[in-house]
Amino acid sequence: MSQFVRSTTSKYRFGGHVSTAGGISNSVTNAFNIGCNSFAMFLKSPRKWVSPQYTEDEIQKFKDNCKQYGYNPLTDVLPHGQYFINLANPDLEKAEKAYDSLIDDLRRCEQLGVGLYNLHPGSSLKADHQVQLKQLAKYLNKALKETQFVKIVLENMAGTGDLVGSNLEDLRAVIEMIDDKDRIGVCIDTCHAFAAGYDIRTEECFDKFWKLFDETVGLQYLKAIHLNDSKVPLGANRDLHELLGQGFLGLEVFRLIAHSEHLVNIPIILETPQPEPEGYGREIKVLEWLEGKEKDDKEVISKNEALQKQGSKSRQEHEQKFATKQKKSAAKKRKTVVESEDELDKVRKPKRSRKKD
Ligand SMILES: [Zn+2]
Ligand SMILES: [Zn+2]
């Protein structure tokens, strides 16, 4: 018996990242049991380079489960790639190893009949960023040629600089270099966007963000959403997920998501730090409840207050940490300015003394 009944009336495909313990086919029942209308999982151990291949039996079981529980693997399942796959790595030996793992992941998707694959775009690791973006696109093009139908969905990141996808321009640059544009897309993670400096907390900011997304990347490329609140403040550049409503985002952005026209018919996947899968079940129900709530609804306001209270200690700690870090980096900047002025002085002084001579 399922504890959380799957909604048949929601306009949105809310779901969570589920476990595959005991076999990939279990992901389907795990998703169903917490009321998911879409779901994510790892295709193999996220921490190992090599994992055993699926058996024919397991593949069939996955497909049968999808049929039985009513998930279309082409559109409702968004597996998550391994975190350490870095196709933008300037160390080519490492990039090749990452490519092998990517191809293995994509083949697994196609064996299961899964149509979407979520990938962190990696890091240029202090090498020339634009050159490494080209390398990434080259590998993606190669991978798409070596496979049949699975779409690669690049995720936006929470960091700065080297980390590919911390800004929307990176995602556009990579997509521009992809030959088969029908097989590339983007997944926006709410926590990553906010931590990277994109404010989405109010209706005005939220609308502005999607306008910017449309202008920069194009809404036609939006293939999925990761739903997370953020443990860190706006622009803190750290990837720390928080439970919905308890972080610096608050509940309003999730209400806006549950009303957004752009987000109908794509997987909307929770990745919040849940101790148990039932936590996703509860959050899915909150999202479906928000779907029927208008702005300034009293129940939403009091629910937000309660959740914010639960998260307040953690937010205070992270706010302090962020403030200390900002102070340090400001001091470092001042020091570099002074040091470079000293350097200039050293260069100037001998000249001056020579002139005097
Ligand atoms: Zn994510
Ligand atoms: Zn994350």
d(CA 304, ligand 1 centre) in Å: 23
pLDDT of 348 higher than 60: no
pLDDT of 353 higher than 50: no
47 as an active site residue: the answer is yes
Share of the chain above pLDDT 90, in %: 89
pLDDT digits (tens, 9 = 90+) for 316-336: 999 999 999 999 988 888 877
Predicted local confidence at residue 354, as pLDDT: 42
Predicted local confidence at residue 137, as pLDDT: 98
pLDDT of 56 higher than 60: yes
Predicted local confidence at residue 341, as pLDDT: 65
Q: Considering every ligand atom shown, identify the ligand nearest to the alpha carbon of residue 189 and give its number.
A: 1
291 as an active site residue: the answer is no
Predicted local confidence at residue 346, as pLDDT: 59
CA distance 6 to 36: 6
241 as an active site residue: the answer is yes
* Architecture field, domain 13-297: Alpha-Beta Barrel (3.20)
Average pLDDT, the chain: 94
Q: Report how far apart, in Å, the C-alpha atoms of 335 and of each of 100, 109, 172, 328, 340 are.
A: 44, 51, 36, 10, 8
Given the residues 13, 108, 192, 259, the one annotated as active site: 192
342 as an active site residue: the answer is no
The average pLDDT across 59-79 equals 98
pLDDT of 86 higher than 80: yes
Closest CA to 76 of 139, 13, 165, 143: 13
d(CA 351, ligand 1 centre) in Å: 56
CA distance 44 to 51: 6
Cα angle, residue 103 at apex, residues 116 and 105 outer, rounded to 5°: 50
Global pTM reads 0.92
Q: Which of these ranges, 28-32, 258-262, 335-339, has the smallest mean pLDDT?
A: 335-339
CA distance 95 to 89: 5
Predicted local confidence at residue 349, as pLDDT: 52
> Residue 266 — very low, low, confident or very high, per pLDDT cuts 50/70/90?
very high
Q: In what order do the strands lie in the sheet containing 184-189?
A: 38-40, 13-17, 267-270, 222-227, 184-189, 151-155, 116-119
The average pLDDT across 65-77 equals 98
pLDDT digits (tens, 9 = 90+) for 95-139: 999 999 999 999 999 999 999 999 999 999 999 999 999 999 999
Predicted local confidence at residue 355, as pLDDT: 41
